[in-house]
Structure 1
């Protein structure tokens, strides 16, 4: 790199923005994971320039590029797109980069108090604490967690079953910090002759290079050990299995709420019957998120679904499906803050939920198996903290679906029970799959298999649905569970505990497909101990923050 004293402000911005470009290029579905190992180096260099006094602007521009490059699709660039969705997507793009000032704010503060060397060592700790913090609350958006850049690096990524995706982020940031330390060391040498030879012979260079080598090679060795343990053919022999069918109906999401609901259900049934007749007995059939949309208040509040129950009894399998769930409060005084009066009868108070239900054959259908979505899409399904801003509720009354869903209150597994199967399922709905510890909780509740039901059809042939699918692959690795992913228009597929796909359906075609899925009981280290690394990293950051109060500036 050039001498720090000779770089113009324009070049400083270009150097910093290079970080955003490299991060975006390393994010799935682009298979360039190694770029994230060097992506932060340009920004660290730019922030280290003494003549540059506007780090906030540089950090914002860097992550504006990262968000735009990886998440440009969230505004749903389709002719049918509701203007609110476009505006909210663009608003997220404008606001989200501000959050990244948190880890770099810590970095710059620690640099001032402890010096650059210590600040670089502390950056991975601050970064992991930030990513975890960014996954909390109603404004949470951990989609761009840096660890996801390694999902195609199948050997290296297996370490996620120890610490979750946060551990991968920690290693990536640490690798970047060490690389920058090596660059600083090289640039500090005054010798013109044999500079590189002198550089590689120094103890500090050898130490840092050895650490760098271990950070890259040890996770790969670990992955090489773990992958054979979860080889699919081996798990089929060692465990009970269930035959699962996934139904991808390919219904236009912009029209499904206005078109004939019974006709949509009939389409799901026809694909299911065709699959059953071609492959034989099925234990479980999965329909996508809100596969049963809103028909009327009585139909959607009656969870018996007799129209479907008779068909299930004759087909002899269990059905897991998403549906628009209406719940009427018997006592209006116990209604939640999100509850609404029924139009035309204000005495009837209700909440609407984005839910999943299991309907077992009649002899086994002893109770209602419902899970109500607990993690709602910010601005898409609900305005964050709308109880504090009642006027904002109308912002999500856009042209499709039941807007402004209520939060589910209890995370629970669903019971699949019929003549051939008796197992527990963690039913993840849409964006819930991007929250590591939330998905981990289903396995802590003894789920033997995970499902993701979603509707990503809003985003057409953009990279969004594939990113969402790859994030589910990370959840499979963390929890060491099979994931059956059913999406209205795709991407649907079966994911193994190593993050590979048994089968992955093409997008935007109606299709049914099946696989035998082993039911696993073993719990990974991450499932047993959760976000232990996050608490450790946050504790280290807070400790040094406390120590800094008693120190003068480093210089």
Structure 2
């Protein structure tokens, strides 16, 4: 088993090396799974007992090490804002569940491979893996950070075709490449070996050549087409002047606990440094406006009046800012609402993006992709009994309210903006749905200061580049402590700020109204593989039942 352990660790190392933010290494993903696949094949062919357990162990080791090395910052950030017990518990969501689902995909693959033809097993592996990724994007324990297609985020030159497939196209590309390599390895290993009848075990040499040609085409053609598109891509000139602000307010308040007005003063002073007469948008970060505001009474707050005075000097400008807001109800309207006895009312609190302009008009967008445990209790009807436990250990905020569908924020001129809050920007389908409703650029407002100076902040920035390519929209990213940036329609970071430093940047971006294939159809590539994954899972169950029945006979 030592050899198989080292092969699993090699796969983990290659996957980590290929993952953002390490630059220029993403093509390693195209062969990173090969050592693990070899290890699992060797276990299958060995005389070891309980092969299924050993396959699960070896695959689990590879994925646990990869996940830990790539998203270690999850525990770092959680531990900083809550006691260690709650942080450990919530860390199981990305670390534990992600690892288990990845491992389960390969374990099922080996089960299918044991009972059917190689090509069927290979197709099943793609179905199992993409099914896992889609599940981890959609259920209440969602955390699609480690979707394989995200791994190409810092090499946009290679993935311009994401405007048709989105990140699942990248996942498909990686899996097929590794499978072809594995099949070539099988043929190379067995070529020339003969059984007792002196008959060649492997398929003909021509088949090996065909696989090599298929692999070359599979890898080279997408890259070549992407490089051509990248080098010839031209944006339609439709400029809009945008100012992005990075106030660098310590989220932990270790150095200074800002009052609400002090925070607004900092934001406004920074905004004025780059503002122009023709500035159309100011972008401020997540929760720039603090101290929960009643959305029904927002216009009567001091914050609104202060912002209004600032915008008086920029008649054509709209401010997109993060805010903490709430709505009050006479009766419980949502599962996330809480009852306050003193007021005899139900309340929903929101992580909100607000659009404010030179008029009484206000627009609100409520963050809907909420962090499991921290911002939303997963499966609230089923697990509501855990609320006291999380509250006792300083964990979950109790559950923000959310929207069922994405909506855009609009300037008085009619320009539509996607206002992705924090890690909503890693949901390609969610952002695309907003763009499909008329958004002409994407604003990402976030507070990555919770994560500290780790790779998490860099990965989060890189993932925004994928949204730019998928939708051919500029991204204006405002992060409280950094990294704030402007990203063009082909995924290049045109400007970015330094980490943990107050800054303001401006850019004339090009608005776009054209709809890409991905924007119109989102994750269309997923659904055939969900069917394949479900069919493969049923096949494993049926075979297990048949094997037990034959043993009894």
Is the shorter-chain TM-score for this pair beyond 0.5, marking a shared fold?
yes
Q: Deviations over 1:432-461 (max 9, x none)?
A: 111111111011111111111000001121
Rounded to whole Å, the distance in 2 between the matches of 1:546 and 1:298 is 50
Alpha carbons 1:436, 1:475 under 8 Å: kept: yes
Alpha carbons 1:301, 1:328 under 8 Å: kept: no
Rounded to whole Å, the distance in 2 between the matches of 1:310 and 1:27 is 45
Three-state SS of the structure 2 residue aligned to 1:452 is strand
Corresponding residue number in structure 2 for 1:4 = none
Residue 301 of structure 1: how far off its partner (Å): 5.0
Rounded to whole Å, the distance in 2 between the matches of 1:70 and 1:12 is 22
Corresponding residue number in structure 2 for 1:325 = 325
Corresponding residue number in structure 2 for 1:66 = 66
Rounded to whole Å, the distance in 2 between the matches of 1:433 and 1:83 is 28
**Structure 1 residues 535 and 62, CA gap change in structure 2 (3 angstroms):** same
Rounded to whole Å, the distance in 2 between the matches of 1:353 and 1:534 is 31
Alpha carbons 1:309, 1:361 under 8 Å: kept: yes
Residue 191 of structure 1: how far off its partner (Å): 6.4
Q: Deviations over 1:246-305 (max 9, x none)?
A: 0000001112996411111111011111222xx5531100000010011x5558952562
Q: Deviations over 1:72-100 (max 9, x none)?
A: 11122699542256324543323431111
Corresponding residue number in structure 1 for 2:27 = 34
Alpha carbons 1:301, 1:327 under 8 Å: kept: no
**Structure 1 residues 439 and 164, CA gap change in structure 2 (3 angstroms):** same
Corresponding residue number in structure 2 for 1:167 = 169
Pair 1:535 & 2:527 matched: yes
Rounded to whole Å, the distance in 2 between the matches of 1:80 and 1:300 is 34
Residue 399 of structure 1: how far off its partner (Å): 6.5
Alpha carbons 2:14, 2:32 under 8 Å: kept: yes
Rounded to whole Å, the distance in 1 between the matches of 2:269 and 2:299 is 22
Residue 10 of structure 1: how far off its partner (Å): 2.3
Corresponding residue number in structure 1 for 2:512 = 520
Rounded to whole Å, the distance in 2 between the matches of 1:282 and 1:397 is 47
Alpha carbons 2:166, 2:428 under 8 Å: kept: yes
Residue 36 of structure 1: how far off its partner (Å): 1.2
Rounded to whole Å, the distance in 2 between the matches of 1:102 and 1:461 is 33
Rounded to whole Å, the distance in 1 between the matches of 2:490 and 2:203 is 38
**Structure 1 residues 465 and 17, CA gap change in structure 2 (3 angstroms):** same
Match of 1:335 among 333, 336, 344: 333
Corresponding residue number in structure 1 for 2:41 = 48
Corresponding residue number in structure 2 for 1:350 = 347
Residue 138 of structure 1: how far off its partner (Å): 1.4
Where does 1:169-208 land on structure 2 (aligned, <5 Å)?
Answer: 169-190=171-192, 202-208=205-211
Corresponding residue number in structure 1 for 2:228 = 225
**Structure 1 residues 502 and 110, CA gap change in structure 2 (3 angstroms):** same
Alpha carbons 2:374, 2:396 under 8 Å: kept: no
Corresponding residue number in structure 2 for 1:415 = 410
Calculate the aligned-residue CA RMSD, in Å: 2.7
Corresponding residue number in structure 2 for 1:267 = 266
Corresponding residue number in structure 2 for 1:145 = 147
Structure 2 spans left out of the alignment, 5+ residues: 195-201, 548-553
Three-state SS of the structure 2 residue aligned to 1:383 is coil
Rounded to whole Å, the distance in 2 between the matches of 1:452 and 1:181 is 42
Corresponding residue number in structure 2 for 1:287 = 284
Rounded to whole Å, the distance in 1 between the matches of 2:68 and 2:540 is 35
Where does 1:361-372 land on structure 2 (aligned, <5 Å)?
Answer: 361-362=358-359, 365=360, 367-372=361-366
- The farther-off stretch of 146-155 and 390-399 is 390-399
Rounded to whole Å, the distance in 2 between the matches of 1:407 and 1:152 is 31
Rounded to whole Å, the distance in 2 between the matches of 1:97 and 1:80 is 23
Corresponding residue number in structure 1 for 2:550 = none
- The farther-off stretch of 479-488 and 303-312 is 303-312
TM-score (norm 2): 0.88
Rounded to whole Å, the distance in 1 between the matches of 2:253 and 2:542 is 62
Where does 1:79-94 land on structure 2 (aligned, <5 Å)?
Answer: 80-83=80-83, 86-88=87-89, 90-92=91-93, 93-94=95-96
Pair 1:255 & 2:253 matched: yes
Corresponding residue number in structure 2 for 1:196 = none
Three-state SS of the structure 2 residue aligned to 1:448 is strand
Corresponding residue number in structure 2 for 1:506 = 498
Q: Deviations over 1:371-422 (max 9, x none)?
A: 00111011222221234323433416877996532223342111112xxx43
**Structure 1 residues 457 and 290, CA gap change in structure 2 (3 angstroms):** same
Three-state SS of the structure 1 residue aligned to 2:22 is coil
Q: Deviations over 1:112-136 (max 9, x none)?
A: 2213343124322332222112211
Rounded to whole Å, the distance in 1 between the matches of 2:295 and 2:118 is 63
**Structure 1 residues 131 and 91, CA gap change in structure 2 (3 angstroms):** closer
Where does 1:443-482 land on structure 2 (aligned, <5 Å)?
Answer: 443-482=435-474
Alpha carbons 1:379, 1:396 under 8 Å: kept: no
Rounded to whole Å, the distance in 1 between the matches of 2:143 and 2:520 is 25
**Structure 1 residues 262 and 397, CA gap change in structure 2 (3 angstroms):** farther
Three-state SS of the structure 1 residue aligned to 2:139 is coil
Corresponding residue number in structure 2 for 1:302 = 298
TM-score (norm 1): 0.87
Alpha carbons 2:331, 2:345 under 8 Å: kept: no
Corresponding residue number in structure 1 for 2:386 = 392
Q: Deviations over 1:175-213 (max 9, x none)?
A: 011111111100102369xxxxxx999211211111111
Residue 19 of structure 1: how far off its partner (Å): 1.4
**Structure 1 residues 441 and 396, CA gap change in structure 2 (3 angstroms):** farther
Match of 1:496 among 488, 502, 516: 488
Three-state SS of the structure 1 residue aligned to 2:345 is strand
